[in-house]
């Protein structure tokens, strides 16, 4: 039996308390009785808790206790394109080390491709204790079906406790297939990962309800616990040439290769005009700039210190700057060495895209602006006075 919800008609008096608390507007009152629209309801239970008449029942299937003691290690899918490993994979190896420490397990890098074995040592230096490598001509190009078939097989064979991948186009299409194949939970686009040591649970934090809350999601009844994470949210480790690790070369036969899908051609994506993700310094402007033409101040400051120009969504929505500059939940995630936020309030949707920056400087005339909670240096004042002074100082400095 799957989970279901029911109104106990005899007990319902049509008071409407459940209507008020339902976050999905799934309940209406008809003839003094609550009616639940099951296509909208996600069984969150808010209505059941609010009902004073015990008129709502939620039925949950009994889940047999499963012994997860044979599941161990934190696996990281190593995404590569023509032998170049994606930055997010290094970042996940770094995070996996923290998680594995809490679980007293190891970090395993899962590397698929052709002529790819040469990368094994590099991955060990970047934090892997073990590499499971499948090197096969058919894996030269990423084909989601083939990669998912092979990794699902490896998961069943080795039983990892946690499986992480980048929230990239490849990572997303891959892990959703794996999760369905091996029947486990998956949390997409996490901005934080932690361990509940007592229960050995991965606490997966991600924005929910349009970014208005940060939800913590767990996978208590299935293994592995799977999550995807965006580029630049976690920090990669410096390579350590002294690290040692084990390499397992898996021989995989042709039954895992899906003959229906063929690689035809690789077309390079048009490179984005602004490469915010790789910039060491970003100067961002927000609604505090008041007008589009004032973005010139941000450009001038960025030029003076060799930085790229970023922005809040409000500035993009106002038509002051193009979307490719937007930082945040629905824009780019960045982690430069220096992030200067000018006239940006620091709403959560902006913060999730830049809070991993090494040093954050905020300029805002409101001393209570939330951006100051994440800033290392805060300047309370009018950006129209402060930014020109900074430009002048930086320019003087560069002449010396």
- By CB under 6 A, the residues from 183 to 212 that bind ligand FAD are 210-211
Q: What is the DSSP string of 263-311?
A: -----PPPPPSS-GGG-SEEEEE-GGG-SGGGHHHHHHHHHHHT-EEEE
Question: Encoding tokens for residue 202?
Answer: 């991965």
Q: What is the smallest separation between the CB atom of 213 and ligand FAD, expressed in angstroms?
A: 11
What does the DSSP 8-state code read for residue 393? H
Q: Which is nearer to ligand FAD, 95 or 350 (CB)?
A: 350
Q: Which is nearer to ligand FAD, 180 or 213 (CB)?
A: 213
Q: Is 3 exposed, middle or buried (0-12, 13-18, 19+ CB in 10 A)?
A: exposed
Distance from CA of residue 363 to its chain's centroid?
27
Q: Which is nearer to ligand FAD, 76 or 321 (CB)?
A: 321
The single residue among 129, 313, 339, 356 that binds ligand FAD, judged by CB under 6 A, is: 313
Instruction: Tell me how far apart the alpha carbons of residues 390 and 25 are, in angstroms, rounded to a whole number.
Output: 50
Question: Encoding tokens for residue 266?
Answer: 């690789």
CB under 8 Å to 297, separation ≥6 — which residues? 285, 289, 342, 383, 384, 387, 388, 391
Phi first, then psi: what are they for 78, rounded to 5°? -95, 110
Q: What is the smallest separation between the CB atom of 358 and ligand FAD, expressed in angstroms?
A: 20
The single residue among 331, 357, 360, 378 that binds ligand FAD, judged by CB under 6 A, is: 331
Applying CB under 6 A, the span of 18-26, 183-191, 257-265, 326-334 interacting with ligand FAD comes to: 326-334
Instruction: Tell me how far apart the alpha carbons of residues 260 and 36 are, in angstroms, rounded to a whole number.
Output: 43
CA angle 311, 315, 319 (to 5 degrees): 125
Instruction: Tell me how far apart the alpha carbons of residues 121 and 247 are, in angstroms, rounded to a whole number.
Output: 9
The single residue among 173, 216, 324, 330 that binds ligand FAD, judged by CB under 6 A, is: 330
Applying CB under 6 A, the span of 52-60, 69-77, 217-225, 338-346 interacting with ligand FAD comes to: 338-346
Omega before residue 105 within 30° of 0, cis: no
Neighbouring C-alpha atoms within 13 Å toward the C-beta of 92? 30
Closest CA to 174 of 250, 79, 101, 246: 79
Q: Which is nearer to ligand FAD, 274 or 315 (CB)?
A: 315
Q: What is the smallest separation between the CB atom of 145 and ligand FAD, expressed in angstroms?
A: 32
Q: What is the smallest separation between the CB atom of 260 and ligand FAD, expressed in angstroms?
A: 37
Q: What is the smallest separation between the CB atom of 191 and ligand FAD, expressed in angstroms?
A: 12
CB under 8 Å to 360, separation ≥6 — which residues? 339, 341, 354, 371, 374, 375, 376, 377
Number of residues engaging ligand FAD in binding (CB under 6 A) = 30
The single residue among 195, 360, 383, 390 that binds ligand FAD, judged by CB under 6 A, is: 383
Q: What is the smallest separation between the CB atom of 24 and ligand FAD, expressed in angstroms?
A: 17
Q: Which is nearer to ligand FAD, 116 or 383 (CB)?
A: 383
Applying CB under 6 A, the span of 30-38, 90-98, 245-253, 320-328 interacting with ligand FAD comes to: 320-328
Question: Encoding tokens for residue 37?
Answer: 């629209």
Q: Which is nearer to ligand FAD, 51 or 274 (CB)?
A: 274
326 touching ligand FAD, by CB under 6 A: yes
Applying CB under 6 A, the span of 21-29, 71-79, 166-174, 325-333 interacting with ligand FAD comes to: 325-333
Q: With H, G, I as helix, E, B as strand and everything else as coil, classify residue 75.
A: strand
- Residue found by looking up tokens 């402007």 in the block: 285
Question: H-helix or E-strand containing 174?
Answer: helix 169-182
* Site string (271-290) toward ligand FAD, x via CB under 6 A: ---------------xxx--
312 touching ligand FAD, by CB under 6 A: yes
What does the DSSP 8-state code read for residue 273? S
Instruction: Tell me how far apart the alpha carbons of residues 323 and 341 are, in angstroms, rounded to a whole number.
Output: 17
* Site string (339-378) toward ligand FAD, x via CB under 6 A: ----xxx-x-xx--x---------xxxx--x---------
Q: Which is nearer to ligand FAD, 245 or 343 (CB)?
A: 343
Residues found near ligand FAD in the complex (CB under 6 A) = 210-211, 286-288, 312-315, 326-331, 343-345, 347, 349-350, 353, 363-366, 369, 382-384
């Amino acid at each position: 039996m799957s989970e279901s919800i029911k109104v106990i008609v005899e007990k319902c008096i049509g008071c409407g308390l459940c209507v008020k608390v339902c976050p999905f507007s799934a309940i209406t009152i008809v003839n003094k009785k609550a009616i639940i629209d099951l296509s909208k309801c996600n069984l969150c239970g808010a209505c059941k808790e609010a009902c004073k008449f015990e008129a709502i029942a939620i039925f949950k299937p009994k889940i047999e206790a499963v012994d997860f003691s044979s599941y161990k290690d934190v696996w990281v899918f190593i995404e590569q394109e023509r032998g170049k490993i994606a930055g997010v994979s290094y970042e996940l190896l770094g995070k996996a080390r923290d998680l594995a420490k809490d679980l007293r397990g190891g970090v395993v890098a899962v590397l698929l491709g052709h002529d790819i074995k040469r990368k094994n040592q590099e991955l060990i230096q970047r934090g892997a204790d073990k590499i499971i490598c499948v090197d096969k001509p058919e894996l030269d190009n990423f084909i989601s079906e083939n990669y998912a078939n092979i990794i699902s097989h490896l998961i069943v064979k080795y039983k990892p406790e946690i499986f992480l991948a980048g929230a990239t186009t490849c990572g997303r299409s891959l892990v959703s297939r794996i999760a369905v194949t091996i029947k486990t939970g998956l949390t997409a686009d996490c901005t934080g990962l932690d361990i509940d040591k007592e229960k050995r649970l991965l606490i997966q934090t991600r924005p929910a309800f349009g970014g208005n809350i940060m939800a913590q999601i767990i996978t208590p009844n299935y293994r592995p616990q799977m999550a995807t994470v965006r580029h630049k949210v976690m920090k990669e480790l410096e390579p350590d040439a002294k690290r040692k690790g084990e390499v397992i070369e898996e021989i995989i036969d042709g039954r895992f290769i899906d003959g229906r899908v063929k690689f035809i051609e690789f077309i390079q994506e048009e490179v984005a005009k602004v490469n915010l993700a790789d910039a060491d310094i970003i100067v961002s402007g927000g609604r505090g700039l008041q007008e589009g033409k004032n973005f010139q101040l941000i450009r001038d400051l960025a030029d003076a210190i060799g930085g790229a120009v970023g922005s809040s969504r409000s500035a993009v929505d106002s038509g002051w700057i193009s979307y490719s500059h937007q930082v945040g939940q629905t824009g780019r995630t960045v982690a430069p060495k220096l992030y200067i936020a000018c006239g940006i309030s620091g709403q959560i949707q902006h913060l999730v895209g830049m809070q991993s920056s090494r040093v954050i400087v905020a300029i805002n005339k409101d001393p209570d602006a939330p951006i100051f909670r994440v800033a290392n240096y805060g300047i309370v004042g009018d950006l129209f006075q402060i930014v020109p002074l900074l430009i002048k100082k930086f320019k003087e400095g560069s002449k010396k």
